[in-house]
Amino acid sequence: MRLSMLATSLALFALTAHAGGQQPEIKRPVGKAQAVGALHTLRVIPEACMRIQGKFTGDAAKPYDFAAVPTGTRCQPRAKLVDAASVKPQGKSGWVYADEVRVPSAACPSQQAVVRLWRSTAEAAPPKLDAQGRSRLYVKDSMAGKPDTTSVPTFAIEMGVAGKVCK
């Protein structure tokens, strides 16, 4: 599922040029240039227990390799992470363009890995308390297709490469 989310994000990335002129809530400078093959974290989303990481490949056909990976085995997500291509948050009411992370390639400074993050502004109530008195989302419940009885925060991510290809 994450692989298809990644492929769809990359395919639609070029179509959403700079998030339609919107400015993200969080203003970040361009990150430190990364060498080809150096694995690095682009953005951590603690509410969803996920981090977006990647590396420049040096391959013109696929210049950057993205991955959404769990932050830890014991982390209990309090939010959902979805592909921006599936929910199309750009310009929709109920979504806030929250963050944009840009990291240039050390070998080709005109080429940048870009991650864009939107968050849902829907009123989110924490899930009901479980037997231990904690609010949690259980994977087994979502895998079983049980409907969500509460609204949890949702983050939409878009990943891609911007800039000129170097030879």
What digits encode the pLDDT tens for the residues 42-55? 999 999 999 999 99
| Structure tokens given for 51 | 């981090």
What's residue 5's pLDDT? Answer: 46
User: What's the rounded Cα separation, in Å, for the pair 37 and 19?
Assistant: 28
pLDDT category of residue 76 using cuts at 50, 70 and 90 = confident
What's residue 3's pLDDT? Answer: 42
pTM, two decimal places:
0.72
Mean pLDDT (whole number) for 65-83: 91
Mean pLDDT (whole number) for 117-142: 78
φ/ψ (deg, to 5) at 55: -155, 150
What's residue 11's pLDDT? Answer: 41
Three-state DSSP class for residue 41? strand
Mean pLDDT (whole number) for 145-152: 61
Query: Is 113 a residue whose pLDDT tops 70?
Result: yes
Counting the structural domains of the chain, the total is: 1
What's residue 100's pLDDT? Answer: 96
pLDDT category of residue 136 using cuts at 50, 70 and 90 = confident
φ/ψ (deg, to 5) at 42: -95, -45
User: What's the rounded Cα separation, in Å, for the pair 127 and 98?
Assistant: 23
Q: Which is higher by pLDDT, 129 or 34?
A: 34
What's residue 85's pLDDT? Answer: 92
The chain-wide mean pLDDT, for the chain, equals 82
Residue 79 belongs to domain spanning: 2-163
User: What's the rounded Cα separation, in Å, for the pair 83 and 143?
Assistant: 18
